[in-house]
Structures are given as structure tokens and as C-alpha cells.
């Protein structure tokens, strides 16, 4: 009975993932999208952004075979199903609180194989807009620089979640801004890694302010 129930749960999760992926594709098809800066993620790079960009970023980078790390939670199961149906690589599973070392090893192998990786650096539980050190460690281990990027949109909604996830409305104007890559030396010590992590957050904040301003939005970085 348990096996049958788990089988139906997997089928249900896959079906829900397909439906939500279809809905995201339909929504994204209405957006007017503009990007600025150099997109090094497309060349097997390491992209980094805040968790609030999850929905918008998922649509923006669809059908490019990028690998995104996803937590081992029930919500993570659904996100993984959506990613598979919207054109991402099979996601490594783990987070800073569960399965992190396994996920890191998978991400290292993924980047070394030439597959691009995207990370939500303040997930899965926050605090919002404060990146965790894992992204810097991954860049150090692989020699692949971190490419910061942010997304903004108008009109849009902000979900009442810990990260205030951004949800663009149909026919929204969408902006993606890429920052300059941040290189992490292979001999970087923990103190250097922490400084680079805070440098990443400052750059993400700068990009968020610029992206919002280009759409005529005002307020704290990325929160308008």
C-alpha cells in the first residue's frame, strides 16, 4: 500500500510540475524582456541571485539546460518537477540545512562537465538578501567565477513569503541585469571567502536598484 501511495504521489508531483511549468511558459510568453550586461552563465558559468527571483529567473532561463540546486523538502520536489518540464537539467538536491555536502559535490561535477549552474544564494530559509558562503566555496573549488544577476518587472506582485518572491503580471516589462564576474582564488581562506560573499551581496543590491530604477520603480533595493 505504501509503495502504491508513493507511486501515485510521484505521478501527482510530476503532473503538477508539468501544469505549473506550462502556466509559467504561458505567462512568460507575454513579457517584454530586456537584458543588459554580459551573460557568462550561458557558457557553462555560475550564476548567482537572491531567492526572490526564483519564479522570474526560472522563466527567463528556461530551455537552456541549466542546473539549479533544489532543497530536499516537499516544496523542493515540486520545484524540481517544474524545472525538469521547463527545460532545466536534472537538479542536484540539497541545501545549507540538509544534504549540503552532497549537493556541493554534485554541483562541482556539474560545472566541471561544462553545464551551467544557477544558485539562489540566500535560500532556502534566509535571511533574505544575505548570501550563504556555499556559492563562494563552489567558485573556489571549480575556478569558475560567480556571475551576479538580478531581475525586475513592472507591473508585478510581491508574495508574502520570507523572501518576498517577485511575480510579474501578464504583459509586464522585465529587466535582467548581469554584473561583472567575481573570481574566487583557489587559495582563498574562510575570511577571504566571507568578504567575497558580502561583495556579492553589495553587487546584487546595486544591480537590483539599477534594474528597478530602469523601470521607474523606487524603494529599498529589490523590494519596491
Q: Where are the domains of the chain?
A: 2-214
Q: What is the Cβ-side half-sphere exposure of residue 105, based on CA atoms within 13 angstroms?
A: 3
**The predicted structure's pLDDT at residue 2:** 44
Instruction: Tell me the pairing of strands 166-178 and 32-36.
Output: parallel
**The predicted structure's pLDDT at residue 91:** 86
**The predicted structure's pLDDT at residue 152:** 97
**The predicted structure's pLDDT at residue 78:** 87
Q: Are the CB atoms for 172 and 31 separated by under 8 Å? A: yes
Q: Distance between CA atoms of 132 and 127, rounded to whole angstroms? A: 9
Strands (E), 62-165: 67-68, 117-120, 146-158
List C-alpha distances in Å: 2 to 5, 62, 67, 83, 122: 5, 35, 31, 27, 35
**Average pLDDT, consecutive stretches of 10 residues, N- to C-terminus, the chain (224 residues):** 59 84 97 95 93 95 93 80 94 67 90 95 90 96 97 95 94 97 96 98 97 86 50
Indicate the length of the chain as a whole number.
224
Q: What is the CATH number of domain 2-214?
A: 3.40.1130
Nearest to 54 by CA among 183, 201, 159: 159
Total-model pTM: 0.88
User: How many angstroms separate the first and last alpha carbons of the chain?
Assistant: 49
Strands (E), the chain: 32-36, 46-49, 67-68, 117-120, 146-158, 166-178
**The predicted structure's pLDDT at residue 137:** 96
Amino acid at each position: 500500500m505504501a509503495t502504491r501511495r508513493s507511486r501515485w504521489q510521484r505521478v501527482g508531483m510530476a503532473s503538477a510540475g508539468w501544469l505549473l511549468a506550462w502556466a509559467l511558459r504561458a505567462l512568460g510568453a507575454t513579457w517584454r524582456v530586456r537584458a543588459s550586461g554580459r551573460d557568462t552563465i550561458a557558457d557553462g558559468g555560475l550564476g548567482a541571485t537572491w531567492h526572490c527571483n526564483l519564479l522570474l529567473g526560472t522563466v527567463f532561463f528556461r530551455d537552456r539546460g541549466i542546473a539549479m540546486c533544489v532543497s530536499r523538502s516537499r516544496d523542493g520536489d515540486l520545484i524540481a518537477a517544474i524545472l525538469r518540464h521547463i527545460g532545466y537539467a536534472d537538479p542536484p538536491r540539497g541545501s545549507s540545512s540538509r544534504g549540503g555536502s552532497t549537493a556541493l559535490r554534485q554541483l562541482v561535477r556539474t560545472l566541471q562537465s561544462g553545464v551551467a549552474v544557477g544558485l539562489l544564494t540566500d535560500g532556502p530559509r534566509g535571511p533574505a538578501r544575505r548570501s550563504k558562503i556555499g556559492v563562494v566555496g563552489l567558485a573556489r573549488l571549480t575556478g569558475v567565477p560567480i556571475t551576479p544577476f538580478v531581475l525586475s518587472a513592472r507591473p508585478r506582485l510581491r508574495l508574502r513569503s520570507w523572501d518576498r518572491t517577485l511575480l510579474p503580471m501578464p504583459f509586464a516589462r522585465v529587466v535582467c541585469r548581469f554584473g561583472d564576474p567575481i573570481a574566487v582564488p583557489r587559495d582563498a581562506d574562510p575570511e577571504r571567502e566571507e568578504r567575497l560573499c558580502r561583495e556579492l551581496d553589495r553587487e546584487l543590491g546595486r544591480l537590483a536598484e539599477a534594474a528597478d530604477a530602469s523601470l521607474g520603480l523606487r524603494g529599498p533595493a529589490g523590494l519596491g
